[in-house]
Amino acid sequence: GEDVEQSLFLSVREGDSSVINCTYTDSSSTYLYWYKQEPGAGLQLLTYIFSNMDMKQDQRLTVLLNKKDKHLSLRIADTQTGDSAIYFCAESGGYQKVTFGTGTKLQVIP
């Protein structure tokens, strides 16, 4: 079945850039997503990219997609303490469901 993998933890200093990586196995993925989960809350969509795109920028967020390697990354510029959360990569490509990764916990050190 589909599989989405992420590293579990990332620690950065406030003001630095954060890069969260994700790999997926489903070659038919059409949409790839980044969700953010703050403590005690559900997931909220941050951004998404369509599979025919290489890059998408949205304010401090940059998503890069390497479709050949099935690699997705989320870069957060000028990381703030409010960015501390768990970030989930997800993909959808068929079978009427979305597959989520394990989540990467981002810790921002003041």
Q: By rule CB under 8 A, what string of x and - marks binding of each residue 15-44 to another protein?
A: ---------------xx-x-x----xxxxx
Our CB check for another protein shows the closer of 45 and 53 to be 45
DSSP 67: T
Spatial CA neighbour of 31 closest among 54, 56, 4, 50? 50
CA 64, 65, 69, 72 torsion-angle sign: positive
The binding site for another protein (CB under 8 A) comprises: 1, 4, 6, 8, 30-31, 33, 35, 40-45, 48, 88, 90, 92, 94, 96-103
